[in-house]
Amino acid sequence: MERELEPRKVVAELDRFIVGQAAAKRALAIALRTRIRRYKLPPEQQAEISPKNIMLIGPTGVGKTELARRLAALVKAPFVKVEATKYTEVGYVGRDVESMVRDLVDNAVRTVKQEKTRDVTKQAEARAEERILSAMLPGKAPAPHPFETWLGLKEPEPQENAEASASRKAQKEDLRRRLLAGELEDLLIEVEVSERQTAMFDMFTNTGMGDLANGMQEMVGNLLPQQKKRRRVTVQQARSLFVQEEVENLLDGEEIARLAIERSEQMGIIFIDEIDKVAGKYQQGPDVSREGVQRDILPIVEGSTVATRYGPVRTDYILFIAAGAFHVSKPSDLIPELQGRFPIRVELESLTEADLERILVEPENALLSQYKYLMATEGVELEFTAEAVSEIARIAHHINSTAEDIGARRLHTVLERVMDEIAFDPQAYGGDKISIDAEYVQARLQNVLQNEDLSRYIL
């Protein structure tokens, strides 16, 4: 179920995508390994070991969310990111805190369904092929009703003889050969497909009643009879429609729900961002519900049973990772009970100029590589000199120091400003091969950097 990765290997894998933050990577790697060790224990011992939840403390843009997301991807664990600020105490406008667990299970269901879909796709394609051939072959005459024959109103038709049956079979095999060869893709045929009921509860989706709306929609859909509709489509379109229908017929919904709940309970990771925004000891004004939010989150983190549309889910062994900048408040401003549920605390460091320079070139999804790939789609070879990379990092770090520190996200705004003219008209800058040096970077950003107030708005 989980790849047995040693902590060193986990850190090495995270290094491929995230620069620096060695302490945070180490803590996450140990937490992951602990889960794998727990999974090897006998059931009675597993029940006594709960995950050590982690609190990541650091400014925005230093990799908190990306670390958690990459960790979940490593082990293919169900993962959901939520923001603490969208939850409010019961009685106020906002989402119910239990919805984070429901979102986790929904993600797990989607993942398991994708895996099971890959397993049955070939079988579904074979069934879809048979349905297409049946739609293309001339239909048999409908058999008379038994009462018509008994009353003598219609003579029973003789059974199809062997010669007609052989002819139909040969015709079907010829159509199959042409179908597999792709000769019939644009042929129009008439097919009968299932028509889904229109969603009647979409109006509640963006409110706090979204979970109720999903449940009501599913219940109503199961009560109403499935409608069939005849459509005239091409063979290519018919294949897509039939494969979707056959996949749904082959999938076992109960088995998918069972596996999704098991994965959510044993491997799930919930990332609670902006936990610092609900910290603080305010007693009036818009902050009145902050402590209430913490007290509502507490039972979920401690371990409780949450009802979902797929069944009850226990949160005892879900790994919770909380994150916040804590510029105004501090972790000790959280209620003591919630503080105790996050025993591992890691402080992430602000990014230095050297870190920003590495972020531009080292990770597999490096920003400069992304721009190169995008321009290559139009036949333009883009390159950045080493001096240009250093200058971009220096400028981004300077702006972070003088204005709001948004970490690596500052590189996006600086690069967009640098690349604006080239992305608009690459032919005006050399066409097939464009080299960006430090002088070009300075020229593109000089006017903005000279005006500090303007740079606050633009960069």
Q: Which amino acid is at 112?
A: V
**H-helix or E-strand spanning residue 229:** strand 227-234
Closest CA to 60 of 90, 87, 78, 83: 83
Mean pLDDT of 405-432: 84
Q: Is 411 left (phi over 0), alpha (psi -120 to 50) or beta?
A: alpha
DSSP state of 405: -
Split at pLDDT 50, 70, 90, the class of 448 is low
Give φ, ψ of 324 to 5 degrees: -170, 155
Q: With contact defined as beta carbons under 8 Å apart, do 110 and 76 qualify?
A: no
The whole-angstrom separation of Cα 148 and Cα 146 is 5
Closest CA to 106 of 320, 308, 267: 308
Task: Assess whether pLDDT exceeds 90 at residue 106.
Answer: yes
Q: With contact defined as beta carbons under 8 Å apart, do 324 and 82 qualify?
A: no
Least confident of 18-32, 88-102, 256-270: 88-102
Instruction: Quote the pTM value.
Output: 0.76
Q: With contact defined as beta carbons under 8 Å apart, do 348 and 64 qualify?
A: yes
Percent of the chain with pLDDT over 70: 79
pLDDT at 1: 42
pLDDT at 155: 54
Closest CA to 400 of 350, 339, 355: 350
pLDDT at 262: 92
Closest CA to 211 of 294, 307, 314: 307
Percent of the chain with pLDDT over 90: 11
> pLDDT for 169-215, tens place per residue?
777 777 788 777 777 777 787 777 776 654 555 555 545 455 555 56
pLDDT at 2: 47
pLDDT at 224: 59
**pLDDT, averaged across the chain:** 80
pLDDT at 312: 93
**Adjacent-strand bridge partners of 229:** 193
DSSP state of 62: S
* Rg from Cα positions in the chain: 30
Query: Which of residues 144 and 21 earns the better pLDDT score?
Result: 21
pLDDT at 32: 85
Query: Which of residues 88 and 107 earns the better pLDDT score?
Result: 107
Q: With contact defined as beta carbons under 8 Å apart, do 252 and 49 qualify?
A: no
pLDDT at 259: 93
Split at pLDDT 50, 70, 90, the class of 86 is confident
pLDDT at 39: 81
Least confident of 52-66, 94-108, 176-190, 341-355: 176-190
Least confident of 22-36, 269-283, 320-334: 269-283
pLDDT at 258: 93
Spatial neighbors of 458 by CB under 8 A, at least 6 apart, are 413, 417, 448
Q: With contact defined as beta carbons under 8 Å apart, do 455 and 403 qualify?
A: yes
Spatial neighbors of 225 by CB under 8 A, at least 6 apart, are none
What is the set of domains in the chain, with CATH numbers? 7-108+263-347 (3.40.50.300), 113-139+165-257 (no CATH), 353-447 (1.10.8.60)
Q: With contact defined as beta carbons under 8 Å apart, do 278 and 89 qualify?
A: no
Q: Which amino acid is at 207?
A: T
pLDDT at 213: 56
Spatial neighbors of 200 by CB under 8 A, at least 6 apart, are 217, 220
Task: Assess whether pLDDT exceeds 50 at residue 428.
Answer: yes
The whole-angstrom separation of Cα 96 and Cα 208 is 7
The whole-angstrom separation of Cα 71 and Cα 83 is 19
Give φ, ψ of 113 to 5 degrees: -65, -40
Give φ, ψ of 54 to 5 degrees: -120, 140
Mean pLDDT of 9-20: 87
Task: Assess whether pLDDT exceeds 90 at residue 313.
Answer: yes
CB count in 10 Å sphere of residue 304: 14
pLDDT at 107: 92
> pLDDT for 317-360, tens place per residue?
999 999 888 888 888 888 888 888 999 898 888 888 898 989 88
Task: Assess whether pLDDT exceeds 60 at residue 56.
Answer: yes
pLDDT at 3: 53
Is 66 buried (19+), middle (13-18) or exposed (0-12) by CB count in 10 A? middle
